[in-house]
Structure 1
């Protein structure tokens, strides 16, 4: 009976995260489910607190990336990138498509797929509307490249940290496994999108004389992003946790850009989607309870079966199984479930990489 109640509450909470009844934020539903599990005695409070604590590195990483993204947005970096793409297109919608795709790829790689989906998309949409070209092809770029380039670097997708946890590979082994698949993914996605929207890439691209200028604050934000990228590449190469370096680099960038003025820091902080943090914390608690109710055992059994298959077959089975689960319940809770299962037994590297 306890297991049934846990599954019911978890399913309701995750359903609320996906469907957002009453337009309540996703974090409300995740935290409501987590609180219900504790109040109903289905999960001890100490165990729930331990589940929240498991995400410390993820919270720091997300906070750092959100601060950097908001700093870049506030200082016009994304608008500057989009306007430069329009200017460099020289009237060609096909060239503009390629340039926006390249911008989206770089933003995803170095600022994570969330920055592309949430921050770059509005800037691109505003730029292409001003250029009087159809917006759909460019919105599709932002949606798809956020996935296609999300495993070039460990920092390209917060889910990478969730799945690997403390076993996140250093940068060189990461490249050995994911660089070629990432390149193939980016190129294949470009080809498929270009084919799909080819009829919409017609007519001239209108652009003002010269691209938008980057302010001194924008230049500082750009240097901060590049500097953070270098710090994280070194940190990843050494095989260290990425959360604290990301947070510290972002904090330094914000303090420099705002000259440590309290009012400006507070104004920048208002633009950050802080609700992401309780959302993730709530999901950690839900996953802890679902593991207790048998979810981890089911996934471990499935991964063990995949590991017994020939390497290629097993990798495809694990990858497509988690892909199906992600489409049913969102990639973050499915990533948390998969990560918990993978960390509870000695999963072969090819199964972990496939997931």
Structure 2
């Protein structure tokens, strides 16, 4: 094992402080927590009904903000400045990319290529799908990768073991690099506001130690099951 790998594994095995001072949650914090719980319920309900999630999520976010403002009895304009507005064009561009691929027939071609493999129980379609989606998530982000994979497996009428492998790839693959998921980008933005700088190369080095073994073990468990 290389020295770099040992260093990263050593950083993961450091002791965690057991006694910490937990501050009392403020009334605004409690209101935000209840608002997030209601947002989760609303999004799950919309998803169960097959409704688009965009407007319900937006309305729930506005509701949480309004509730905190009412609790504080003032309009908290400063909170709006904490939003990572620069991420919105990125997300919009990613969805435009997916729509362009769908309209140009690329997804249909992917579904056509997947159909023969996924219909053969003895094929390696699960392994291939999981690893491909995991790597694609780091190249184009897991939002478009998940949408493309979702459209593809539906069009190809992929069996359950391929669907499960795709879900594993979407969930674990983005842990490799900072470009893997929107959540990672948002967290890094929040950390940098607090003066904590996590370099992309450092993240990748740790991701190379953590992600591939987890991905292979998870796909292996699906293969055995």
Output the CA distance in 2 between the equivalents of 1:17 and 1:141. 29
Output the CA distance in 1 between the equivalents of 2:167 and 2:74. 37
**Residue in 2 aligned with 1:62?**
91
Output the CA distance in 2 between the equivalents of 1:65 and 1:187. 27
**Residue in 1 aligned with 2:62?**
31
Task: State the shift of 1:149 in Å.
Answer: 0.4
User: Does structure 1 residue 75 correspond to structure 2 residue 104?
Assistant: yes
Q: 2:222 aligns with which of 154, 176, 193?
A: 193
**Residue in 2 aligned with 1:152?**
176
Task: State the shift of 1:75 in Å.
Answer: 2.2
Task: Choose 24-33 or 89-98, whichever is displaced more.
Answer: 89-98
Task: State the shift of 1:42 in Å.
Answer: 5.1
Task: State the shift of 1:8 in Å.
Answer: 3.8
**Residue in 2 aligned with 1:181?**
210
Output the CA distance in 1 between the equivalents of 2:197 and 2:106. 30
Output the CA distance in 1 between the equivalents of 2:115 and 2:212. 25
Task: Choose 90-99 or 180-189, whichever is displaced more.
Answer: 90-99
Task: State the shift of 1:95 in Å.
Answer: 2.2
Superposition TM-score, scaled by structure 1 size: 0.46
Superposition TM-score, scaled by structure 2 size: 0.70
**Residue in 2 aligned with 1:104?**
133
Paired residues of 2:118 and 2:162 also in contact (CA < 8 A): no
Paired residues of 1:108 and 1:149 also in contact (CA < 8 A): yes
Output the CA distance in 1 between the equivalents of 2:206 and 2:122. 35
- Structure 2 CA distance for partners of 1:34 and 1:84, relative to 1, 3 Å: same
Paired residues of 1:88 and 1:96 also in contact (CA < 8 A): yes
Aligned alpha-carbon RMSD (Å) = 2.8
**Residue in 2 aligned with 1:18?**
40
Deviations 1:266-293 (A, max 9, x none): xxxxxxxxxxxxxxxxxxxxxxxxxxxx
**Residue in 1 aligned with 2:19?**
none
User: Does structure 1 residue 141 correspond to structure 2 residue 165?
Assistant: yes
User: Does structure 1 residue 114 correspond to structure 2 residue 143?
Assistant: yes
- Structure 2 CA distance for partners of 1:106 and 1:81, relative to 1, 3 Å: farther
**SS of structure 2 residue aligned to 1:128:** coil
Please identify runs of 4+ aligned residues in structure 1 that moved more than 6 A.
none
**Residue in 2 aligned with 1:49?**
80
Q: Which ranges in structure 1 are unaligned for 5 or more consecutive residues?
A: 130-134, 197-355
Highest RCO, 1 vs 2 (Cα 8 Å, sep ≥ 6)? 1
Q: Which ranges in structure 2 are unaligned for 5 or more consecutive residues?
A: 1-24, 47-54
Task: State the shift of 1:47 in Å.
Answer: 1.3
Q: How many positions carry a matched residue from both structures?
A: 187
Output the CA distance in 1 between the equivalents of 2:163 and 2:73. 43
Output the CA distance in 1 between the equivalents of 2:197 and 2:108. 33
Output the CA distance in 1 between the equivalents of 2:197 and 2:86. 12
Output the CA distance in 2 between the equivalents of 1:60 and 1:195. 42
**Residue in 1 aligned with 2:14?**
none
Task: State the shift of 1:168 in Å.
Answer: 5.5
